[in-house]
A and B are shown apart, each in its own frame.
Chain A
Amino acid sequence: GAVVSQHPSRVICKSGTSVKIECRSLDFQATTMFWYRQFPKQSLMLMATSNEGSKATYEQGVEKDKFLINHASLTLSTLTVTSAHPEDSSFYICSARVEGAGEAFFGQGTRLTVV
């Protein structure tokens, strides 16, 4: 299957700082990318959907000014957690899909810890 690379895999940051997570599709062009968040012992929760060159669409309850998503190219999307707080500590996962293809492919996830 296609490869989606997410970086970093783990990050620890201080409360109040911002953290950027990158998601790259390595061997295909992703017209759409999705960002998820997963708390311990819970399922994945979709945060937002981004299409290359346009603004992201956020799910209800997700603060767009706190979770900045940029999808500047067909192979790269970034999620920036601004002014992070301990409650933002979570497992963040990206997914990429080619329009018209059935399956979406996932990155390996980023474990964010805010101290």
Chain B
Amino acid sequence: DAKTTQPTSMDCAEGRAANLPCNHSTISGNEYVYWYRQIHSQGPQYIIHGLKNNETNEMASLIITEDRKSSTLILPHATLRDTAVYYCIVRVLHGATNKLIFGTGTLLAVQP
């Protein structure tokens, strides 16, 4: 699976949009971009995933660049409960060895 690069930490004001970047310059054509988050002392929570088109769900939006070498997760109106470590992961969709390998992630701190 391709490796990803994320900033170690970011701050965001409550109520503002949080934009979390991720670089995945070695992504393969059949690899998807996944985002998970982990609130302190809990298991990771799935947020969103996409291949090449932008995606939106009730939690967030995922913007993938045209060359697919980077993406941005957008939380439109961050709240204090969005404070967590956000992980960007790239992997293939199918296959018996379809593993999620976590990097170091971005610690997002939402400030009141």
Interface residues of A (CB under 8 A from B): 1, 4, 6, 32, 34, 36, 43-46, 49, 51, 57, 91, 93, 95, 97, 99-100, 102-109, 111
Contact = CB atoms under 8 A, between A and B. Distances in A.
B-side interface mostly: loop
How extensive is the interface on chain B, given as a class?
A: 20 to 34
B43 A104 contact: no
Given A91-B41, A103-B49, A109-B42, A43 B102 contact: yes
Interface in B16-54: 32, 34, 36, 38, 41-46, 49
A60 to B, nearest CB: 13
Contacts of B93: 102
Nearest to B100: A104
Contact of B99 (A6, A34, A105): A34
Nearest to A108: B43
Contacts, number: 56
A106 B43 contact: yes
23 contacts: A32-B98, A34-B99, A43-B102, A43-B104, A43-B105, A45-B102, A46-B102, A49-B97, A91-B41, A93-B43, A95-B44, A102-B32, A102-B34, A103-B46, A103-B49, A104-B46, A104-B100, A105-B46, A106-B43, A108-B42, A108-B43, A109-B41, A109-B42
A97 B96 CA distance: 11
B7 interface: no
B94 interface: yes
